[in-house]
Amino acid sequence: MTFDYLWSVESNRSDAFDLANFEAMADMAEEDRLIVKKYRPGVPYFAFLVKERNRPFFAILPGGGYEFCSNPNEGFSVALSLNRKGYNAFVIDYGVKEEAHYPRPVIDVASAAKDILANAKEFGIDPKGFGIAGFSAGGHLSAICARSDIGLSHYGLPSPKMQILGYPVVTMGELSHPMSRELFMGSDIGDSKMTELLSADNHIGPDYPATYICGSMRDVTVNSKNFEMLENALKKAGVRCHLRLVDSEVHGFGTGDRGTAPNWISDAIDWLEGHDD
């Protein structure tokens, strides 16, 4: 494993960063392919870069119910899986807890994306056609960021061209994950117009990115009807999409490599690249 450099970023949103455990996890990647950075004071994100220059990238939004960012399980490990498929990856540490009320998390993702794109040459990445990936509450945030009305394009940025979602929270209605709904909506809970606006399956147009969704049939944390609601909305809008439901109750399985959904990140990339329709 080659570490080019690892910069320290002070962030009151991040969990304690255990470098020893991170290095042990990173060693699972192929040696001499990966450069790891924790980058940019003021814009908290982690960059996982493949050595080949001008490769595309994914922005990764871990879950955590908008209460924390589950970076090791749904950020770092996913980044390594994407690196193995030849994609750079940036794990974004967006606002949680009191900083989770809309639109703050979307603004955080937009700020990080703006910084990443502005430094594409330094990172050695292709700024065109990037993807976004989100898990659980981060899946909700990802699906919001991919929309053209209140997503990244609302902040003058290009929209992602492809999306990977793991067991995403989708609706802010009755079937939502209660903590995610409470923290993201804040004082807007009960406002029917805001509920409609902030449910990720609404306001989806044909320009929405191709989306691969994976989740458990009997998810004990996020009702699997959330996944189906998004799939139905995407199909209605004519957006290329795929829903993979695994025979499980497990939520938060990350890459799924412990048995819940082995290789699903790799399968998602193959599908997005058009190798498996």
Q: What are phi and psi of 253, to 5 degrees?
A: -85, 0
SS3 of 214-240: the string is: EEECCCCCCCCHHHHHHHHHHHHCCCC
pLDDT tens sequence for the chain (277 residues):
333 333 322 222 333 334 444 444 444 444 444 444 555 556 678 888 888 899 999 999 999 999 999 988 999 999 999 999 999 999 999 999 999 999 999 999 999 999 999 989 988 999 999 999 999 999 999 999 999 999 999 999 999 999 999 999 999 999 999 999 999 999 999 999 999 999 999 999 999 999 999 999 999 999 999 999 999 999 999 999 999 999 999 999 999 988 899 999 999 999 999 965 5
Q: What integer pLDDT is reported at residue 45 of this predicted model?
A: 87
Q: What are phi and psi of 130, to 5 degrees?
A: -75, 165
The Cα–Cα gap between 194 and 196 comes to: 5
Q: What integer pLDDT is reported at residue 150 of this predicted model?
A: 98
pTM value? 0.88
Domains of the chain: 51-272 (3.40.50.1820)
User: In terms of Cα–Cα distance, which of 257, 262, 220, 258 is closest to 244?
Assistant: 262
Q: What integer pLDDT is reported at residue 47 of this predicted model?
A: 86
User: In terms of Cα–Cα distance, which of 275, 274, 263 is closest to 82?
Assistant: 263
The Cα–Cα gap between 183 and 196 comes to: 16
Sign of CA dihedral 174, 102, 160, 77: negative
DSSP 14-63: SPP--HHHHHHHHTTSPTTSEEEEEE-TTS-EEEEEESSTTB-EEEEE--
Neighbours of 14 (CB within 10 A): 16
Q: What integer pLDDT is reported at residue 27 of this predicted model?
A: 46
Yes or no: say if 252 and 73 are a contact pair by the CB < 8 Å rule: yes
Yes or no: say if 101 and 186 are a contact pair by the CB < 8 Å rule: yes
Q: Looking only at Cα atoms, what is the longest distance across the chain?
A: 52
Q: What integer pLDDT is reported at residue 276 of this predicted model?
A: 57
